[in-house]
Amino acid sequence: MAASIGIDFGTTNTVLALADRDGVVATATFTMDGETSSGCRTVLTFTPAEGKANPIQVEIGPWAIRRYLAAPEECRFVQSPKSYLGSRLFQETRIYGRTWRLEDLVSAFLAALVELADGKVGPVSDCVAGRPVTFWGSDPDDGLAMTRLRTAYGDAGLGTPGFVYEPVAASYYFATRLTRDATVLVADLGGGTTDYSVIRYGIGDGAPHGAPIRVTPIAHRGVGIGGDRLDFRIVQNAVAPLVGKGTTYSSFGKRFDIPAAYFNRIANWHEFSFLRTPEVLRDLRQLVRQSDDPEKLERLLALVDGNFGLHLNHRVTAAKAALSAAESVTLSLDDLGVDVECTVERDAFDGWIADDLAELDRHLDAVLADTREAGAEVDVVFMTGGTSLVPAVRRRFEARFGADRIQAGDEFQSVAKGLALIGLADDRRAWTFDGG
């Protein structure tokens, strides 16, 4: 049984890490149909289970995706609940006659996460959990988000965790490799958010498990831009024009633009399900008849009617990842029966995300200004999170700090591993900056 567990509950993926008393840390794996992964997609399905003690069957991660793709009309698919933690607009939803609060959805996911981990984590009465510096949304309520998280972890049987800023957890994992005192900027570029933390580490002999013995937090900043936003740009610029964006339709003798909401929702993978209603499908069929470019609208209808939102998301994410090494990549849905195929050039992609990168720069400028005001200068930069692998992102950091000051590694697991290692500390208060 692990001495400490850390949970990096993510917008797109969630990682569970386990540390033993000697400071050896590893991520839990999840196996379905012979395929094993070290993370779990942050999705759930709810299916009526007649004749069973629990009338609703809940599945998560790859099990939920399998259920949804096999029979989408027979289950309720919930994606990216973390995105709504700070939103007062999302209070509850009805699923097969039962009311579910947002914290209930998160709790159901977390309980299943621990249960389904390979090797069985066993009873958990305590854990260390991650939280973003800034929650996602236009006007997120930090207090509401944290209340919901605490309730969800407690209801899942995980006790009252110490909550640690995600970049701080990543920096802790990185700091175990430091051999001298250093002021470290951690850039955690995740799926939903980008968080920056600057921390001063004092390294000395006798620290347990290689941990730093003096820790001074200096500055923190966060912004709701991450990998999902970059995926959005690919869909908006490469896919949406092929399925009707920029075209018009005729009604009562006048011409109107096809509503942008359709293209926003196919580009935001957690909103695609909102298009899967009889009313929207009826409206799309009507737009095909009224469109000045019906062939493109027929593609949009095929995309929505075929319920290919998850497929589109997977292929866009794969295309973005491929652009880390290739100058161009082909994105195609032709094998799904949707006549959509396009070439995405890295140079074009860099242009599409330029405004997002400028916003990341603005928040980075702010955290560095806070650092200088505190009388410190950054010695080392540690980049983590999947978006740190995007070449345009990496180039901006190298231009600012120099390649020799930048380190990276375990981009998808460092937060969870850091959380588990913090759980071994005799006193966590230096890390739980939110008082959790």
- The answer to whether residue 174 sits within a structural domain is no
Q: What is the pLDDT of residue 52?
A: 66
Gyration radius (Cα) of the chain, Å: 23
- The answer to whether residue 313 sits within a structural domain is no
CATH number at residue 113: 3.30.420.40
Q: What is the pLDDT of residue 436?
A: 40
- The answer to whether residue 102 sits within a structural domain is yes
Q: What is the pLDDT of residue 82?
A: 93
Instruction: Provide the sign of the torsion angle of the four alpha carbons 273, 276, 280, 284, taken in this order.
Output: positive
Q: What is the pTM of this model?
A: 0.84
Full domain range(s) for residue 14? 4-163
State how far the Cα of 23 lies from the Cα of 19, in Å rounded to an integer: 6
Number of domains into which the chain is organized: 1
Question: Tokens 């589109």 appear where?
Answer: 312
Q: What is the pLDDT of residue 217?
A: 86
Q: Which residues of 298-317 are buried (b: 16+ CB within 10 A; e: fewer)?
A: bbbbbbbeebbbbbbbebbb
- The answer to whether residue 20 sits within a structural domain is yes
Residues 300, 328 contacting (CB under 8 angstroms): no
Cβ neighbours around 89 below 10 Å, total: 8
Of 7, 202, 201, the closest CA to residue 117 belongs to 7
Residues whose CB is less than 8 angstroms from the CB of residue 254 and which lie 6 or more positions away in sequence, other chains included? none
Cβ neighbours around 366 below 10 Å, total: 14
- The answer to whether residue 24 sits within a structural domain is yes
Report, in this order, helix, strand and coil percent for the chain, each rounded to 5.
45, 25, 30
- The answer to whether residue 201 sits within a structural domain is no
State how far the Cα of 239 lies from the Cα of 41, in Å rounded to an integer: 24
DSSP 294-312: HHHHHHHHHHHHTT-HHHH
- The answer to whether residue 85 sits within a structural domain is yes
Q: What is the pLDDT of residue 206?
A: 45
Q: What is the pLDDT of residue 205?
A: 56
Averaged pLDDT in 10-residue chunks for the chain of 436 residues: 88 92 91 93 90 82 92 86 91 91 96 91 81 84 95 93 90 82 92 90 62 79 92 97 96 94 88 86 96 96 91 93 95 93 97 97 96 94 92 95 89 91 82 57
Q: What are phi and psi of 56, to 5 degrees?
A: -125, 125
State how far the Cα of 69 lies from the Cα of 310, in Å rounded to an integer: 9
What does the block give as tokens for 238? 């490469």
Residue 321, classed as helix, strand or coil, is helix
Q: What are phi and psi of 43, to 5 degrees?
A: -140, 155
- The answer to whether residue 100 sits within a structural domain is yes
